[in-house]
Amino acid sequence: MVVERARGESQSMSGSLQSLCWGSSACGGIVSSYFSGSLVDAYGVRFVFGITALLPLITSAVAVLVKEQPMLPARGKNLPLASLNFIESSKQNITQLWDAVKQPNVLLPTLFIFLWQATPQSDSAMFFFTTNKLGFTPEFLGRVKLVTSVASLLGVGLYNGFLKNVQLQKIFLVTTVIGSSLGMTQVFLVMGLNRKFGISDEWFAIGDSLILTVLGQASFMPVLVLAARLCPEGMEATLFATLMSISNGGSVLGGLIGAGLTQLFGVTKDRFDNLAALIILCNLSSLLPLPLLGLLPRDNHDANKESEDIEMKSN
């Protein structure tokens, strides 16, 4: 629905729509994070899983309030997919999707997004370090999650207030370089250097999560805006879901590579001798996709023109 309303709009308007959507999500995250850790401690894991299973059912009730007009084909075009059998409609869907994705204006930015997300991650190793080595409790981890949810909202506000009119290449370049540099601060926590400056592990972890999440959310917003503006009319849901699946696939690959590096460095849930080196390598690897920034649209005018070209070719 957001993609449909973002089509044909400027990068600024598209950014505002995505900011509204993800800002609302961040507000929901703040509420859930506030209670998550304390509920686990008070009532146990099974009770929390029951709540998380129930809430989506309540949310689904909103679907009855959505009003949509069916998209009818223009004269001379194919019949609506609803009038075709499953195999024929599937073939037509796949053909339309491939016609849209194979266009260089879509394929090249999608390739960059995938590679940008596929860099290795050390999040799992850090989780075991904070829980097993530092002894962070579920209640404290809930507080950290609350801080990151607030940080996500701040990141959306940062993008909507200052970055939505900035060229995509500049946003990716600056946020990636700064994020890689700030990500190195986790080494301080691993080596205990923060305590030498009088900063406890808990406060350092909260501050680190706050800063990195703000930056991460601000850098991910352009991905959503770019994906939304590349979708031709009539293919919004399918193509946007495909682009996001490719992006998520990159994240999964990054996690797998990070897991392989974790094993290679000999980091386990009880052994963290080489964790600092793993963090440094993962953060430096995030800079690798930067030479491919030229694959992204250059400015608003070019992006709008590309979206129109895609629509004409898909029609």
CATH number at residue 302: 1.20.1250
Q: Is 195 found in the same domain as 93?
A: no
| C-beta of residue 149 within 8 angstroms of C-beta of residue 33 | yes
Beta carbons within 8 Å of 80's beta carbon, 6+ residues apart: 70, 71, 72, 73
Residues 284, 262 share a domain? yes
When the pLDDT of each residue in the chain is averaged and rounded to a whole number, the result is: 80
Last residue in a domain, options 50, 83, 98: 98
Looking at the structure, do residues 294 and 195 belong to the same domain, yes or no?
Answer: yes
> In this model, does residue 307 exceed pLDDT 60?
no
* Whether 254 and 277 share a structural domain: yes
Kindly state the percentage of the chain with pLDDT values over 90: 12
Q: Which of 98, 115, 148 is the last residue of a domain?
A: 98
pLDDT at 287: 92
46-96 pLDDT, tens digit each: 888 888 888 888 878 888 888 777 666 554 455 444 445 667 777 777 887
How many domains would you assign to the chain?
Answer: 2
The verdict on 283 and 218 lying in the same domain is yes
Range of the structural domain that residue 236 is part of: 2-69+102-314
237-290 pLDDT, tens per residue?
A: 788 888 889 889 999 999 999 999 999 999 988 888 999 999 999 999 999 998
- Cβ neighbors of 156 (< 8 A, separation 6 or more) are 19, 22, 23, 26, 217, 218, 221
If 0-12 CB within 10 Å is exposed, 13-18 middle and 19+ buried, where does residue 199 land?
middle
76 with 64, same domain: the answer is no
Q: What is the pLDDT of residue 72?
A: 61
Whether residue 86 is found in the same domain as residue 233: no
Residue 9: per-residue pLDDT: 66
- Best CA proximity match to 303, nearest among 156, 168, 163, 111: 168
Report angle CA 57, 2, 245 to the nearest 5 degrees.
75
Shared domain check, 258 and 171: yes
92, 206: one domain: no
Residues 173 and 231 both lie in one domain: yes
Q: Which residue has the tokens 């370090």?
A: 129
133, 92: one domain: no
What does the alpha-carbon distance between residue 10 and residue 12 come to, in Å, rounded to a whole number? 5
> Is residue 306 over pLDDT 60?
no
Which one of 57, 80, 98 terminates a domain? Answer: 98
Residues 209 and 294 in one domain: yes
SS3 per-residue string spanning the chain: CHHHHHCCCCHHHHHHHHHHHHHHHHHHHHHHHHHHHHHHHHHCHHHHHHHHHHHHHHHHHHHHHCCCCCCCCCCCCCCCHHHCCHHHHHHHHHHHHHHHHCCHHHHHHHHHHHHHHCCCCCHHHHHHHHHHHCCCCHHHHHHHHHHHHHHHHHHHHHHHHHHCCCCHHHHHHHHHHHHHHHHCCHHHHHHCHHHHCCCCHHHHHHHHHHHHHHHHHHHHHHHHHHHHHCCCCCCHHHHHHHHHHHHHHHHHHHHHHHHHHHHHCCCCCCCCCCHHHHHHHHHHHCCCCHHHHHHCCCCHHHHHHHHHHHHHHHC
At position 67, the amino acid (one-letter code) is K
